[in-house]
Amino acid sequence: MDQNNDSVIMDKNINQNNLKTLKIATKNIRGITKIIKQIDWLKFCEYKDLDIIGLTETWAKDEN
């Protein structure tokens, strides 16, 4: 019995040590039509070594 319990605990420790944190970013791309802004965004994503990148486009209007 003890051997089985020990192996389960060992497996848990191995799995916990292999966990990786996901790096996620989102960007509202409205107004990113200029090529320099696109290049800056891509460089930022590469520099941060992002795993998931979400792109959105918001067309909200100001109401006065």
In which band, very low, low, confident or very high, does the pLDDT at 61 lie, cut at 50, 70 and 90?
A: confident
Which helix (H) or strand (E) is 25 found in, with range? Answer: strand 24-28
The answer as to whether 48 is a domain residue is yes
> Taking all residues of the chain, what is their mean pLDDT, rounded to a whole number?
77
Whether 10 is in a domain gets the answer no
pLDDT band for 1, please (50, 70, 90 cuts). very low
Domain count, the chain: 1
Using CA atoms, how far apart are residues 40 and 47, in angstroms rounded to an integer?
A: 10
Which structural domain range is residue 37 located in? 22-56
1 inside domain: no
Q: Identify whether 8 is part of a domain.
A: no
